[in-house]
A = this chain, B = another copy of it.
């Protein structure tokens, strides 16, 4: 935390997107963040918004500031996952990427290299280099409290994690498994993105399979790492979710480099990029629509999961893999993808002469999925409520575009809380409740969990307790809060009875 005794000139405020204090020198692109950090500089990454390509730069930064985006924007979600302090959606600042400056409403201009500090819990951006002090959150009393909490709560608490680092952090904070592992984050690492792009730009299935075969060993190692860390605990792995264009480069030099690498022309790369372009990517060719069009992607991912599970068991690790299909809206979609998964798993079992137990479930993140829960529950062993996307579609609000509107809506009393931070019980909640009730009627053994950002929010956890969910899953750093909130919700639920 920033030293409470230090003098601070707050030059702008934004959303408290990821708690903690950060102090560093201003940089305005992910590449600069990585380059400066490599030279030993502490940096704060300042962007209008972030995209998956900025992850390296975010990792290299002490903190992140964005001008746009809400509590569940890319910057906010990723920063929380990393434990990196972040102030998002600050409408007080204007960023000039060419000049590399950030101008604030109060007239201060921060140039590249200037020192800047931020308080991610308060959503404050502060001029200069403020001293920090260690916050005391992990003392003996904390452990004692958590012991009491765990005796009382009914809801299990898992974590959203992809990297070994996150998974270890989650475990240290008491997570009872991984409730969401977003496999797409695994493909942005420098040694993989090239193969991913080769897969996307391949002219045919054979070309895609070639590139996927190169990705398989990496992906398998990802899962072996997670299984080992989570030994004896469930690991929910979601199949590739974002639209493929998110993996492609955007600038001419990068596209030219990619074209050269793949033996294509710049025009060919641009034509494919153009063909993949979407006006509303949130509502586009993503989720289970990808394996339906390109089954080979789900085949590779399933093979990686099953081979990793078998090899991990052979090494004495207890694996509980749960394969999750994203963005389904109908039983037929789930059945098609489940058939790809089951067929691939059987093939691997035959090759290895060994079986492992796995289950297949689905995200409930579209209104239609909640409305068709009685159908989906016939094929799904579990429902993972993706309440971020479910909120976006139910409210018709893109989390990246509505930061300013939500501020106004809260000021006007239209929403009491940010519906991306605390679940909208009246609207989205009706769909969640319906899916729980109808899903359980058809399939009494179905496991129900939530893996949106709401999984770490105490008010939402109270609602999830009422719905009778089995677990919540949240960013590793929110696990202790979720454990406490789950206990409080259990106490309240008992009092009501």
Contact = CB atoms under 8 A, between A and B. Distances in A.
A84 to B, nearest CB: 22
A104 interface: no
Nearest to A430: B371
Contacts of A94: 271
A329 interface: yes
Contacts of A371: 394, 426-427, 430-431
Given A284-B401, A371-B427, A329 B395 contact: yes
Given A371-B427, A414-B336, A400 B330 contact: no
B330 A398 contact: no
By CB atoms of chain B within 10 A, which of A329, A424, A431 has the most?
A329
A329 B404 CA distance: 17
Interface string A274-293: 10001111111101010011
Contact of A368 (B282, B336, B394, B413): B394
A413 B332 contact: yes
Interface string A234-278: 000000000000000000000000000000000000010010001
B283 A282 contact: yes
A301 to B, nearest CB: 20
By CB atoms of chain B within 10 A, which of A278, A368, A395, A427 has the most?
A368
A331 to B, nearest CB: 9
B398 A389 contact: no
Contact of A398 (B48, B278, B293, B336): B278
Interface size classification for chain A: 35 or more
Interface in A395-433: 395-398, 400-402, 404-405, 408-409, 412-415, 424, 426-428, 430-431
Contacts of A400: 278-280
Contacts of A413: 332
A396 B279 contact: no
A405 B285 CA distance: 7
Contacts of A408: 292-293
Contacts of A409: 292
B412 A280 contact: no
A427 B49 CA distance: 34
Contacts of A396: 282-283, 287, 327, 329, 365-368, 389, 393
Given A289-B405, A408-B292, A412-B292, A398 B332 contact: no
A398 B368 contact: no
Closest 10 pairs (CB-CB, A-B): A283-B398, A280-B398, A368-B427, A367-B367, A284-B401, A366-B396, A278-B401, A280-B282, A367-B394, A332-B414
